Every structure is written in C-alpha cells, then in structure tokens.
Amino acid sequence: MLGRHGWRRGALVRVRTRRDPAGVGEAPAVRFVHGVLDMAVVSFESRCEVEAPRLDKRRRRSKPATLTPGDRIGAWRVEGELGRGGMGTVYAVTHNGFGKRAALKLCHRNVLGPEFTIDTFLREARVVHLVNHPSVPDVFATGTYDGRPYLAMERLHGTTLGDYLEHHEVTKLHALDILFEICRVLAAAHGAGVVHRDLKLDNVFVLDTPAGSPPQIKLLDWGVARVVGEHDPMAGMIAGTLTYVAPEQIRADDVTPAGDIYALGVLAFQVLCGVPPFTHPNDLELIRMHIQAPPPRPSSLWAELPGGLELVMLAMLAKDPRQRPTVDDVMHGIVAARRDLVPRKPTLLSGVRAVPKAPPVDVFGRSAPIDLGAIIASLAALVG
C-alpha cells in the first residue's frame, strides 16, 4: 500500500536465487522463485504461504508481546511506545537508577529464528559504532527481555522526514541542505565499509532545531546494514523497501555503496520533486520498473531544476551500479545546485553605473578635435 508522498512502507522480502536456493523466511509483501526477470511471483500478501521460522511452542510465553507504561525491562522503565517497524517496537524508557532517558528497541518475537538470531539483531550496535558519526543515533546498552533482544539508544526529538515534508513548507534550498546532511552520513558509513541498505524517508529523522538554523538529521535503523567483507545475515533478502531498492538488490547481487546511492536518488526525487521516480500498486510491476524502466526527467516535475543536478539525479538511478556517482560526487552536485539557486547578494557598488566622460567641446558646445601634437609640445616645454 502506498503511503504519503507515494512511498511504500518496508518489509523484508526473502527471495530464492541461484546463490540461495533454499531461501525461506517472512515475506509480508512478495515471495519469489526463478522465473520472469530471474524471479516469478508465487503468491501475494495474505495468500502467501509464509515459511517463517517459528519459536519452540513448548516455551511458555509468560510476558506480553507489547509493553505498557510502567513495565520494566532490566534497569529501564517503560514510559510509552514511540513507534514500530518490521523488526521491532521502539519505546520511550527511563533508567531506574540515574534517570537517563533513552529509546529502547525491542525485537519482535516472531522474527527470531535460525536465520535471524539474537546476535543478528544486536549487531546494529556494532554497526553504529563502526560508522561513528554524529548523525547516527548512539547505542549504549543491549540485553534480552523474555528471550527477545533489545537495544537502548539515544532518544531523539523531532519527526521523520516523511512527516516533516507533509507538515512543513520546505523550500528547495532547505531540501538540498537536508540531502547534503544525508550524504555526509553516507560518506562516513561508506568510508567505514558499511552499506545502510534501507535508506528511505521514514529512516531519516529531522531533529527539532531553532527557527532559521541549519537542518540536523539522524539516519535511523542500521539493523539491516551490510558490513563489507563480513558475512551478510540478510543474504538472499530484499532487505529494504520496494520503492527504494536498487536493481542489484532485487537480483540478490552483491550489496555495495552504489545501492545506497540508488535509494538516495529515489529520496532526492521525493524531496525535490514531490514524488518517487517509480510508483505502482502492483509489487511485481514496481520491481520491473526498477529493473527496466527509465526514470522520468526531474525537470518535468521541477522546471527550475539546475541542469547539473538533474544529470546527477538521473545518474544516481542508473540500472548499472558501476555507472552511479559516488556520494562525494552527489555532494558536489548539491553544492553547485545550491550556488545556482541562491540569489546573489548586492554589494556596495551594485547598481552603480560608471559615468561616461564627456568628449571635449569648444566654447560653443561643439565637439572639439584633440590636438595631440600640441599636448605633447606643452608637456615637453614643462619638462624642459
């Protein structure tokens, strides 16, 4: 189902590929096997026979799946729910001992199994510290509650970028500033060998700041990130949201920083043009568009778009990841576009025209010829 601004809320989708012939798992959206476009739909949504890992039924579930204010998780007291996603629910909590306020992400019970373990969930804490950037929420405690892992992290004040766009008048310059801040986080991540893999509006958090100050963002949800050179627990999955996934992610090829660049290109369309480049109510058709369809020209949606930035946006959505720009290239394109859009500030001499020197005239006001010989002779007499 399409959400605000035409994006689709995410879900992990398990695929069977030549690299993962036995792949099974939770598939809230679509499940695939070999066929058209290297895959074919088996069934959709509620009709899908999900081969989800199941917990041992013999284990007694002594505690409720959803927490309420006043419940305790270790040293933390629950104040309320902040939000929930496909992997877990986030609660506002306070430390019982010294009163520190935090956000606690508690893993859903039904996602745990042989292929998604407690360690898989908790690896987000290590990924966050690998990136080590101010625009990544800090994780400072981990633990388990009734067999479910949790992360205690920095509590933020603000709203998601999707809600921010819906409730604020965002100028193009402000939108470019937000995209630039996202690029800075991705540059740090890619430099540390980390691919976020689930960049979308709902995972960009815009912090509350004083009016007129530059935007500050946090990039959320590093739980499905890929660490280059390490075993990928999400191998064989479309670990992201169908509106944003790169063609190579759909094909279950190697995940590289170019996948983040593709998702950033989709996000740039949404922020600058108001809609994503590809939308369709049918998931299979949306996937086909990512793999085969050319994106629309951004200037057809924003006529004043600087030409250089349009070229960068289209390059970000290249089907071949090798043809996409780096995050540094994108940042240079944003800076150039911002320079083109910013009105030039007037200087002290702005608007002042040089007064042309009047030609010499005689006593009657007629143009008088200049006798260079006489002038030179006069100068010579003075020197002599």
The CATH number of residue 188's host domain is: 1.10.510.10
Q: Is 167 helix (H, G, I), strand (E, B) or coil?
A: helix
pLDDT tens for 135-148 read: 999 999 999 999 99
Question: With bands split at pLDDT 50, 70 and 90, how would you rate the model's confidence at 377?
Answer: low
For residue 363, with 0-12 CB atoms within 10 Å meaning exposed, 13-18 middle and 19 or more buried, which class applies? Answer: exposed
Report the 10 Å Cβ neighbour count for 113. Answer: 14
Tell me if 137 sits within 8 A of 128, measured CB to CB.
yes
Strands 88-95 vs 139-145: parallel, antiparallel or unpaired: unpaired
What tokens appear for 1 in the block?
């189902």
Residue 40 domain flag? no
Burial class (CB in 10 A: 0-12, 13-18, 19+), 117: middle
| pLDDT score at 2 | 42
Specify the 3-state DSSP secondary structure of 39.
Answer: coil
Dihedral over alpha carbons 181, 182, 187, 193 (to 10 degrees): 150
166-197 tens-digit pLDDT: 999 999 999 999 999 999 999 999 999 999 99
pLDDT at residue number 378: 62
pLDDT value of position 220: 95
Instruction: Give the helix/strand (H/E) hosting 179.
Output: helix 172-191
Average pLDDT, the chain: 81
The answer to whether 267 touches 277, Cβ cutoff 8 Å, is: no
Q: Is the pLDDT of residue 34 over 50?
A: no
Helix axes 327-341, 307-316, angle to 10 degrees: 160
Pair 125, 164 in one domain? no
Number of domains in the chain: 2
Domain with 250, as residue range(s), is: 157-341
Assigned token pair, 271:
């922020």
| Terminal alpha carbon distance of the chain | 97
**182 and 329 inside one domain:** yes
Asked, for residue 211, whether it belongs to a domain, the answer is yes
3-state secondary structure of 277: coil
State whether 146 and 174 are in the same domain: no
Look at residue 175 and tell me if it is in a domain: yes
Is the predicted pLDDT of residue 241 greater than 70, yes or no? yes
Could you tell me if residue 361 is inside a domain?
no
- The per-residue b/e assignment along 190-204, b for 16 or more CB within 10 angstroms, e otherwise, is beeebbbbbbbbbbb
CATH number of the domain at 119, please: 3.30.200.20
Nearest alpha carbon to residue 27 among 55, 2, 53 = 53
- Give me the active site residues, please: 198
